[in-house]
Amino acid sequence: MALTAAQTDAAAHVTAMSRELSAWTAQIFDFGETAWREYRSAAWYVETLRAQGFTVEEGSGGMPTAFCAEWSNGAGPVIGMYAEYDAVPGNCQAALSHRAPRAGLGYAAGGHTDPHSGLGISGLGGLLATKSAMERFGIKGGLRFTGEPAEKVRGSKPIHAAKGYYDGLAGMLSFHPFYMLPMCNTVRWDTHCGAAYAMVYRFLCDEPERWGVHDGAPIPQSHSAVRAPGANDALMLMYQSSKALREAMLPHQGGWSISEAILTAGQATADNLPAGLAEVQYMIRVPTIAMADQVTAVLDRNAAAAAAMTGCRWERHWVSKSRHGLANHAIASTVWDALQSVGAPVWDDAAKAVAREIQTNLGIAPMADPFLDECTRLIDPEAAEAILRRDLPPSQLNSTSDDYTDMSWHAPTARFYIARPALKAPAGASYPAWVMNALGGIPATIDPMVQTAAKVLALSALRLLEDEAARAAAMDEFRTRTGGGIGGTAWCAPLCDYDPPIHFRWPEYVTTARGRDWWIPSAMPGA
C-alpha cells in the first residue's frame, strides 16, 4: 500500500532521530531497574515527554513508577502506544561481547532480557515521529502514551485498564521484541496470549507461643523446648507441596505453567527463634481465566495447610490478574501493511562484527551471516498463525502470556513483533543467556530493531488517524467481538480488584554509606 506524505515524513523522522534513539536505548539499558522500582527510568521518560510537549500524569493508577502522557492536535481520534522499562533480577550484563556485569555491580543485579529498554524507546520513537507528522500535515487527533512498570510480573496494565486509561482510544499499538518463533517480524492474528495471575503468599508467625500448647500451658521459654517451626518452614512446605501437586492442579489440556520466586524478609541473624515473616510469589500462565481460578484454589489450600502445620497465619496478595487477549483482524492488517512497507531489520557489517566477536569469545567459529535467518525476513500473520497452531489443541484459543491482553478489551489492539538480534548456533550447541542480554544493549545490534519498530508504530498510527475506513473497520470488529464494545454482552471486564502491590520487598538498587549497589550486596571481589 502506498504511503501518505505524512507516513513518509514520519519514517524519515525516525531515521533523523537515530542517534537520539540509540543513546536513549543505551540509557534505559544501563539503568537496569526491576519491577515496581523503576524510579530513574520512569523519571527519565516523564522529563523527556514533557520536554516534547506532552502533558504527563506521574504515578498513574496509584503506581509510583507509572505515567500517562497525552498530546492533542485538536478534536479527533486518539491512538495509544506505551513504554515498558523494567529489567529482571539476576541478569546484569554490560553492553559488551563477553560476559561482564555493568560497572560497579555484580551479576545478581537487574538487567534487560527482552529487552524492555529497546521496547520502550521504540514506542517513544514511534510516538514522536507520529506527533511530528501530525503537526506538519495538520492531522487532527491525539496521542496517549502510558508508562507500564513491572511487566515481568504483569503488573501495571491490569491496573491501568481497570482505572480507564485505555478507554476512548481509536486503537492501541502493542510492540514487543520477538522472543519465540514463528512470532518474528509479524503480527498476531487469532491466537493471542492467555490469562495470567500473580500473587504473593505471606506467612506470618506472630503468635509462636500458641503452637504446641498443651493443657493451656504456654511454650516454655527454653532453647530445648518445643517451638513453632515459623514462617520459613511454612514457605518451604508451600513451595514443596505446590511443586509436588503441580501436575494435578489442572486438567492435562492446553498449555500452562506455574513459576515461583521467594521474596526475602531480611532475616540474617541466626538464633533459636521462629522466623516471623516469609513470602513466596507465584506466576500462573494459562489459556483461560477459569484455569487460573482452579490453580489459585489449590494454592490457597496449600497455603492454609502449610500455615496450620507451622504455627503461622497466611495471606494472599494479588500482584496481577490479567485477562486473555482479544483478536482484531482489521487493526492487525493495518499494522501488517506498515510492517511490509518498512521491512525487516537490517544488521550492517558493524553489527555482524559484534556477533562474530561473541562467537569467537565462546569458542564458536565465526559465521559469515551470524544472525538467525528468521530475523531478516517477514512472515505473513496467517502463515505464522498456522505454524503456531501446530502444537496447540483445537480447543485452546490462547497461548503464552503477556499483559498487553488487558488493553485489547478496551480498544482495538494490534500486537506485533520485530526481530531483536539473535544468533545462529552450530548443531547441538546453544548460547548462554548473557549473549541475548548483551545483544540487547550493544547499539550496533539493538538499534536496527528500535528503528524498525518505531517506523512501524508511526506508520500504523498515522494510517489509523488519516484513514477513517481503516479506523472504522477496527472499531466495528471490536464492537462485534465484545458484543457491543466496553460493557457489551461478550466483553470481559477487568479482573483487577486490588491495590497496586508496591509495598512488598521487591528487589531494587539501594544507596548506603557503601555507595549504590544491588539490594543484596554484589559489588565485591568475586561477586
3-state secondary structure 490-509: CCCCCCCCCCCCCCCCCCCE
For 26, the enclosing helix (H) or strand (E) is: helix 18-31
How far apart (Å, rounded) are the C-alpha atoms in residues 137 and 3?
14
Confidence of residue 263 (pLDDT cuts 50, 70, 90): confident
Whether the per-residue pLDDT at 118 is higher than 90: the answer is yes
**pLDDT confidence of residue 222:** 59
Quick: pLDDT tens for 492-511: 999 999 999 999 989 999 98
Residue range 511-527: mean pLDDT, rounded: 72
Mean pLDDT of the chain: 93
pLDDT, position 225:
66
Q: Which residue has the higher pLDDT, 400 or 37?
A: 37
Contact call for residues 470 and 452 (beta carbons, < 8 A) = no
Residues 6 or more apart whose CB falls under 8 angstroms from that of 51 comprise: none
What's the DSSP call for residue 252? S
Q: Let me know: does 222 contact 290? Beta carbons within 8 Å.
A: no
Other beta carbons within 10 Å of 338: 26
Cβ neighbours of 505 (radius 10 Å): 13
Per DSSP bridges, beta strands 313-322 and 78-84 are unpaired
For residue 207, the model assigns a pLDDT of 86
> What gap in Å lies between CA 480 and CA 86, rounded to an integer?
35
Can you give the pLDDT at residue 275?
A: 86
Nearest CA among 351, 330, 340, 329 for reference residue 455 = 340
pLDDT of residue 218: 53
Rounded CA-CA distance 320/196 in Å is 7
Bridge partners, 516 (sequence order): 511
pLDDT of residue 210: 80
Residues counted in the chain: 527
Which amino acid is located at 36 in the chain? W
Q: What is the predicted pLDDT for the residue at 515?
A: 82
| pLDDT at residue 400, rounded to an integer | 87
CA distances from 310 to 98, 230, 245, 466 (A): 46, 5, 20, 64
A 10 A CB-CB count for 348 gives: 10
Q: Grid cell 489443541 — which residue?
A: 393
Confidence of residue 223 (pLDDT cuts 50, 70, 90): low
pLDDT of 208? 85
Give the pLDDT confidence of 429-482 residue by residue, as tens digits.
899 999 999 999 999 999 999 999 999 999 999 999 999 999 999 999 999 999
The more confident residue out of 268 and 362 is 362
CA distance 58 to 151: 18
Comparing C-alpha atoms, which of 94, 113, 90, 123 is closest to residue 420? 113
Task: Please give the Cα distance from 132 to 509 (Å, whole number).
Answer: 36
pLDDT at 270: 62
Question: Could you tell me whether strands 277-286 and 195-204 are parallel, antiparallel, or unpaired per DSSP bridges?
Answer: antiparallel
What crossing angle do the helices spanning 18-31 and 443-466 adopt, rounded to 10°?
110
Gap between the Cα atoms of 40 and 46, Å rounded: 10
Cell numbers linked to 122: 521504540
Counting residues of the chain whose pLDDT is more than 90, the rounded percentage is 83
Nearest CA among 391, 505, 441 for reference residue 116: 441
Q: Which of these, 122, 147, 114, lies nearest to 18 by C-alpha position?
A: 122
Among 42-56, 87-101, 294-308, 510-524, which stretch is predicted with the lowest mean pLDDT? 510-524
pLDDT at 215 over 80: no
Mean pLDDT of 201-215: 82
Percent of the chain with pLDDT over 70: 94
Residues 197-224: what's their mean pLDDT? 75
What pLDDT, on the 0 to 100 scale, is given for residue 363?
94
Residue 269 pLDDT > 70? no
Q: What is the pLDDT of residue 255?
A: 77
Is-contact 196 283, C-beta < 8 A?
yes
The domains located in the chain, with CATH, are 5-190+325-482 (3.40.630.10), 196-322 (3.30.70.360)
Q: What contacts 395, CB < 8 A, 6 or more positions away? A: 253, 254
Contact call for residues 71 and 54 (beta carbons, < 8 A): yes
- In this predicted model, what pLDDT tens digit does every residue of 84-104 receive, in sequence order? 999 999 999 999 999 999 998
Q: Using pLDDT thresholds of 50, 70 and 90, give the confidence band for residue 516.
A: confident
CA 509 to CA 111: how far, in whole Å? 12
Q: For strands 78-84 and 142-148, give the pairing.
A: parallel
**Taking 60 as the threshold, does the pLDDT of residue 364 lie above it?**
yes
> Exposed, middle or buried: residue 395 (CB in 10 Å: 0-12, 13-18, 19+)?
exposed
- For residue 175 the three cell numbers come to 510492540
Instruction: Give the orientation angle of helix 18-31 with respect to helix 39-51, to 10 degrees.
Output: 160
> How far is 157 from 323, CA to CA, in rounded Å?
10
333-344, pLDDT tens digit by residue? 999 999 999 999
At 295 the pLDDT is: 93
CA distance 144 to 169: 8
